A and B are shown apart, each in its own frame.
Chain A
């Protein structure tokens, strides 16, 4: 199966890591804003507590997927206690690769009729 970028040594990303990458895809954010964005993107289904969030951030910074950014928002919105994070190039690549992998999987699932028609979720 063709892959845009070979990143073989990267295991499938955990859902939280994936969510954090997605939250930072369009905008640099501070921790709490990341949590809020994740909740918004998942329509409330994923709620990341502080331990989950900063534990993941720590590991992701270490793995070079995200980094702290110096660029701060305009002074009126800024809160100096906050630290802002942004995707690194590697992080963006990992996000693209993982998304492509997931899209492939979904295509297979559809072909095998595991996933039928439109999404019809149970009342959550």
Chain B
């Protein structure tokens, strides 16, 4: 922390101390200041002023009110005992008086009060609901001990800043690093569970024993496995169950300890059950196995499939850990050039890994909903101004009778705060409803550190927001009205008040400008979602059923066995009535299963290590492209005659073919994967297909035939005539007809995967559009209110004009012109603001420019129309003024 800032911080805290009762301040104020100085020097807070202030303010809020309450009770006691010290008691009385008076005033104008409360409730409710999500994702500490010292270590290549690790690389880093007090590794992957009535797949996690320690996980039953049991050479076939799996699938049987489960075809002994709560860092893991039981080929150097967690030693920063790890990665690269050339490493905090990706989106939402509240505040401030104008006489009388300005401001502020408290209370009800909606629609990939709910922090936020809101919209009107000109106001009862137009106009301009910005943001997000939905994925996702399975390595341990299974199973599936075509692929689009490789094209200059171009790699059986309706542009599909004995072949996509051999044919050229020695001949070129996400930039793709490149894991794709999900059971039965023990899972359609991949953009769009709609309504109400008020104020003038022969149309024009001038100015401001603000949206947009002309034209038009309507209603009323009535009224 720098030295200039401390005194300011202390001064602010000194001022905040005034929130406490005098007695406490007198007795312990100096100690409290010293306490804050101590905290500022504490290693936990040093250099983290935000964190310190969060701690202090939280404490202040939690304690100041109770302390005041205690002091007030004490004071009342003392008052009763006729002792001195009337100070707090009197203040209490004054407050009670103000509150009672405010209640009466607010009740006198129920309609305005109701509108104000409803407006605030919407604003506060929506803000609290969004905050509850932000809190659960970004602000809550991760549910692990001392979570800020947890990091993940990743491999790093030119094409992939966060690549999974290989086990030997991890072991080297574990031995050589000087940065971590603990360093563990996991490989979450499905595990086949057999030996029971129906073969099942469980979500497993192969892990080193110290991961439990790093993440602070304990056993509720039995024990965890040990370092010895998870180390090569001394490994033991043991397994630990998650609490959920134990109490669910295993029936909560306490006698399970010591029993044997057949997992991936190998007997493993249950030694423990975890305490509830932890199910692997990414959730839903059902059992934990020692890392070394992961299949042998997966433990080789170069097989990057694992995630690592480490705890920084005290005093080690992420930056210095990164330097340490990068230099070790360099040593490993030198020692293992064939597998590790071009590979570096990266250290990232666990928090950043889990929630970093959602930060921008959530902050955008928070900003949007904050703007809605701001607009609501302007609306209520305007209502208050109008009300205060109507009460000028009353205020002047009170001032004349000797009320100080401070006293009057306080009275008016009490009203505002009372309004906002009513709004806040109603808002909390709305929050509960909105939260249900939010939770039901949260994107599936959002990491929640705690549940989204009305917890203490969220409630605290709502309370702060409510009080802050009350002061925010109440301050300006209160200051303004308390400056009442005594004599003038008393003489002219409820006169023109034109001088006050400035502030009101300012509020309306601000509202419309902010609404413009929100509407433009919403417009861009809607356009973005529409263009996402129109993206041509390169395959036909209608009526395609998929399901996944993984062959147990103990049973299928040769390539021939794997290939034989794939071919027979595919054959059986094709025979199911209603299935028009079927195939297998290692990963189908949008399923989350994908692989990428660096590749070299034969005859091209060899790129520097790490600079090889990248491509998505996939393996398929014959008929995959036909089933997915990915067009075969030239050459041929794989055939069952492409075997391990014949020429190695690949199929590439159009983009890769064009990139490597522009203008010519790719057929007959050969490519090789980095780290592989085999050159494979291109026999076909197929159309581009999206794979990881609909919104991705098209990448090069290389397909190998299953018959030459088999694997244990595979996905079935079956095109059917109709209603794909109804084909789940017969297709699964077809697989079981080949191997009754083979579990399958994730039976789903590609269409459902596409829907899921649009989850986050749809969520964003829905919310921002809802907020923008709300903002539009509020701004409409705002401008309507101001124009109505102006018209009412000018009834006298309008009456004279009409009496002197002005036509209704002229009066309407007069009123409209003023409204439209305000609107035009505001919209221009809003558009300029939006041009700046949509920079923040850029990363959320797809297929639409952040300066999309359509949106930037349409929004002002819509706003103009709404403003026109909002002005026209009062204008028409003005044109119908009866001159006699108008002139007779004072």
Which residues of A approach B to under 8 Å, CB–CB? 30-32, 35, 44, 47-55, 57-59, 81-83, 120-124
Most A CB contacts (10 A, CB to CB) among B27, B63, B216, B278 go to B63
Among the stretches B34-42, B625-633, B837-845, the one at the interface with A is: B34-42
CB distance from A94 to the nearest CB of B (A): 19
Q: Does B31 contact A (CB under 8 A)?
A: yes
Residues of B within 8 A of A (CB): 20, 23-24, 27-28, 30-32, 34-36, 38-39, 55-56, 58-60, 62-64, 66-67, 70, 143-146, 215-220, 275-278
Partner of B217, one of A32, A48, A55, A123: A123
The reply to whether A54 and B31 form a contact with Cβ atoms under 8 Å apart is yes
Find chain B residues with CB under 8 A from A55 CB.
20, 24, 63, 66-67
Q: Is the CB of B30 within 8 A of A49?
A: no
Report A-chain residues with C-beta under 8 Å of the C-beta of B20: 51, 55
Q: Which of B28, B30, B146 contacts A57 (CB 8 A)?
A: B28
Most buried by B among A48, A83, A120, A121: A120
CB <8 Å contact, B219 and A50: no
B276 contacts A122, CB within 8 Å? yes
A54 touches B216 (CB 8 A): no
Shortest 10 CB-CB distances between A and B: which pairs? Answer: A49-B59, A51-B63, A54-B28, A122-B277, A50-B32, A50-B35, A123-B216, A32-B38, A120-B275, A51-B59
CA distance A32 to B34 in the complex (A): 8
Contact A58 B278 (CB under 8 A): no
Q: How far is the CA of A124 from the CA of B144 in the complex (A)?
A: 6
Q: By the criterion CB–CB under 8 Å, are A123 and B63 in contact?
A: no
The residues of B that contact A58 with a CB separation of less than 8 Å are 23-24, 27-28
**Taking CB as reference atom, which chain A residue is nearest B63?**
A51
Provide the residues of chain A in CB contact with B39, threshold 8 Å: 32
Closest B residue by C-beta to A53: B35
Contacting pair A49 B55 (CB below 8 A): yes
11 other contacts beyond A49-B60, A50-B32, A54-B24, with CB at 8 A cut-off?
Answer: A30-B31, A31-B31, A31-B34, A44-B146, A47-B55, A55-B67, A58-B23, A121-B218, A122-B143, A123-B275, A124-B143
Rounded to whole Å, the gap between the CB of A52 and the closest CB of chain B is 5
Provided the pairs A32-B35, A124-B145 are in contact, do residues A49 and B277 lie with their beta carbons within 8 angstroms? no
Q: How far is the CA of A12 from the CA of B218 in the complex (A)?
A: 32
B62 touches A51 (CB 8 A): yes
B31 pairs with A51, CB closer than 8 A: no
Q: Is the CB of A123 within 8 A of B143?
A: yes
Whole-angstrom CA separation of A123 from B143 in the bound complex: 6
Contacts of B218 in A (CB 8 A): 120-121, 123
Tell me the smallest distance from the CB of B727 to a CB of chain A, in Å: 42
Interface centre among B70, B215, B218 (most CB of A within 10 A): B218
- The reply to whether B145 and A123 contact each other, CB–CB distance below 8 Å, is yes
Q: A123-B215, A123-B216 are in contact. Are A31 and B67 (CB under 8 A)?
A: no
Contact A123 B144 (CB under 8 A): yes
Chain B residues near A53 (CB, 8 Å)? Answer: 35
CB of A52 within 8 A of CB of B217, answer no
Write out the residue numbers on chain A whose beta carbons fall within 8 Å of the beta carbon of B146.
44
Task: Name the residue of chain B whose CB is nearest to the CB of A83.
Answer: B31
Residues of A within 8 A of B63 (CB): 49, 51-52, 55
Distance (Å) between the CB of B141 and the closest chain A CB? 9
A55 to B27, CA, bound (A): 10
What's the Cα separation between A82 and B35 when bound, in Å? Answer: 10
Interface contact B275-A54, CB-CB below 8 Å: no
